[in-house]
Every structure is written in C-alpha cells, then in structure tokens.
Copies of this chain bind each other. A is one copy, B any other.
C-alpha cells in the first residue's frame, strides 16, 4: 500500500520543472537545470532515465525525442515529502513545523489571510 518514494534533490529539481511546465524532454530540463548550475546533457539524461526506472517518471518513446512526465501528481508527491520531512526533522509535529515556517519566513498579509481562511474552515468543519 505504502509505496513511499524518496526523490533525491536532483530528482526534485527535475520534478519541479515538470510540475511547472508539464511533460518535458531531456533538453528542456537540461536547459532549466543549466541555468542554475553546471550540468552536462548526458548527466540530465541519465538522471531522468534512472527516475523512469524507479517509476518516478514515465517515458513516451513514440518519437525519437522522448518525453518524460511525472507518474504521481505534484500534490501527492509533496504530501509524501512533507510526511517524511515532518518525521525526520520535527519528530512528526505538524504544529512545530508550521510555527517555525510562519515565524521565520514571514509570509505577507495576503498569504496570511489565505491561511486564516483555511484554519477557519478546519475549525468549522469540526471532525
């Protein structure tokens, strides 16, 4: 049931690009990564091939230029990542993580409003 994945940091960089721009080619991703740091084309290719073999990405090979897309939805993956991070870094306490983030990253007024709305909803929809 619990096929919890564990993308590495490099893999997350790739996922983030796919989340933002949709199914992508090796070249597109390599160009995005190259903007941030030096990385060879075949390095990116290999990373993506490994991600496919792990079942993180799925490949469309119908054309010569392969197209990679994510198997899981962004939200599913992020949820797993949050769960793992919460456990590893905050002993599982969601409250501590939220307080830490709010206290130190200081979101703007508008974002705080959205968060308050969500909290109100959570308190209203009493479980």
Collect the chain B residues with CB atoms within 8 Å of residue A107's CB: 94-95, 98, 122
> How far, in whole Å, are A20 and B90 apart by their CA atoms in the complex?
11
- Interface 9-residue window, one of A27-35, A41-49, A57-65, A111-119: A111-119
A95, B78: Cβ atoms closer than 8 Å: no
Known: A85-B85, A109-B123. A103 touches B91 (CB 8 A): no
| Interface residue range, chain A | 35 or more
User: Contact: B111 with A115, CB < 8 Å?
Assistant: no
Could you list which residues of chain A lie within 8 angstroms of chain B, going by C-beta atoms? 9, 12-13, 16, 20, 75, 78-79, 81-82, 85-86, 88-91, 94-95, 97-107, 109, 111-112, 114-116, 118-119, 122-123, 127
Q: Could you say which residues of chain B place their CB within 8 Å of the CB of A81?
A: 85, 89
Q: With the chains together, A115 CA to B119 CA distance in Å?
A: 9
Determine the distance from Cα of A91 to Cα of B81 in the docked complex, in whole angstroms. 13
Offer 21 A-B interface pairs, CB within 8 angstroms, sorted by A: A9-B88, A12-B88, A12-B89, A13-B88, A75-B100, A82-B97, A82-B100, A82-B101, A85-B85, A86-B101, A86-B105, A94-B107, A94-B111, A98-B115, A99-B114, A106-B122, A106-B127, A109-B123, A112-B122, A112-B123, A116-B116
